Amino acid sequence: MPVFGNSIGAVGVWGPVTATLDWCEANYQFSKYIAEMTNTMSNLFSIWLALHGAISARKEDLPIRLTIGSLLADELPMIFVASYGLFCLFDTAHSGFGLSSLRTWLLAAALVVFNVLFTWSYIVFRDPVYHQVVFGLLVFTTAARTYYLLNGAKGTAKIPAPVRSVIARMFGLGFVLFGVGFIIWNLDNVYCDILTRGKNAVGWPLAFLLEGHAWWHIFTARNWDTIDDEWYHLTLCIKDDYRNYKLGSSLGVPYIQKVSGKKTE
C-alpha cells in the first residue's frame, strides 16, 4: 500500500519540494516525472476553460482591453488575474478600448508597477500569508468596485435593471464558487491526516476524489472564468452600447456574445 500525504519522502527529477504551500498530496507517488499527479491532471480543466474563453472571444471579435504578455508561475498568476480585473473595473470613465486615454495609460502603468513590485517582494520574502493577504485585499476591492458599478456608478444608469441583474447573479455565482474552493483549501490543510486515512481506506482511483488540490483547481477555475466574463461584460456595457453584447453559453460555460446588427450610439 503506497504512503499518502505530502511527506512520502520521494524525490523525483524536479528535485525536493520548494513550494511555499505543499498540499495534502503525496509527492512523486506515481511517477518520478510528476510531483503531484492530481495537481497536474486537474489543471487540464483550467487549461480547457482558458482555451474555451480565448476561442470564444476571438470568434465574437471582442475588443482587446490591454495587450500584455503572459507570465507563467504558480501562486503569482492569482495576483496577476485579480489585479487585471481591477484594471478593467476601474477603466470605465470613458468610451473606447485599448490605451486610448491618459487615464487608461496611468491605470496600465499602475497595474504593471504593482505586479512587478509584488513579484519582487514575494520572491524575497516567500511568505504564503503575505500572498494570501494581498490576494484577499484584491478580491475584496474587486467585490466593492463591482457593487459600486452595479448600484451607484453614473455610467451604469443606461444599463437596464434586468441586464444588471444577470451580471450581478453571475458575479454572485463566481464568488460562491470561490468560497467553496477556499473552504476546501483550508479543509485539505487542516484535516490532512484524516483525509490521508480516507485515501488509504478507499484506494485508487477513488482516492482522487479526496484530493483537495484538485477541487480547488476546479472551483477556482470555474470561479475566475465566470467572474472574468462578467468583468468584461459589465465594462463593455459601460464603455459601449449594452445592446451590443449579451451573455451566451457553450458546453455549460458562459461567454460574452457580440450581438450583430447593433450600432453604438
Distance CA 118, CA 145 (A): 21
* Mean pLDDT, residues 166-179 taken together: 86
Quick one: pLDDT at residue 113?
A: 95
- Using CA atoms, how far residue 11 sits from 2, 27, 29, 214, 242, in Å, is 15, 8, 10, 21, 54
Angle at 219 between CA 79 and CA 5, to 5 degrees: 90
Distance CA 161, CA 164 (A): 5
Half-sphere exposure of 231 (CA within 13 A, CB side): 25
Whole-number average pLDDT of the chain = 76
Residue 105 has pLDDT above 70, yes or no: yes
Distance CA 265, CA 262 (A): 9
Do 101 and 109 contact (CB within 8 A), yes or no? Answer: no
More confident position, 98 or 111:
111
Q: Which of 71, 82, 203 has its CA nearest to residue 145?
A: 82
Each residue's pLDDT tens digit, 33-91? 777 777 777 777 667 666 766 676 666 565 555 443 333 356 788 888 889 888 888 88
* Mean pLDDT, residues 252-263 taken together: 68
Residue 25 has pLDDT above 60, yes or no: yes
Do 53 and 34 contact (CB within 8 A), yes or no? Answer: no
Distance CA 231, CA 8 (A): 42
More confident position, 148 or 8:
148
Strand partners, 249: 254
Distance CA 2, CA 257 (A): 49
Q: What is the DSSP string of 112-155?
A: HHHHHHHHHHHHHH--HHHHHHHHHHHHHHHHHHHHHHHHT-GG
Quick one: pLDDT at residue 23?
A: 66
Each residue's pLDDT tens digit, 210-233? 888 888 888 888 887 788 778 888
Quick one: pLDDT at residue 40?
A: 72
Residue 143 has pLDDT above 80, yes or no: yes
Global pTM? Answer: 0.62
Residue 4 has pLDDT above 50, yes or no: no
* Mean pLDDT, residues 153-169 taken together: 82
DSSP 3-state assignment of 230? helix
More confident position, 122 or 75:
122
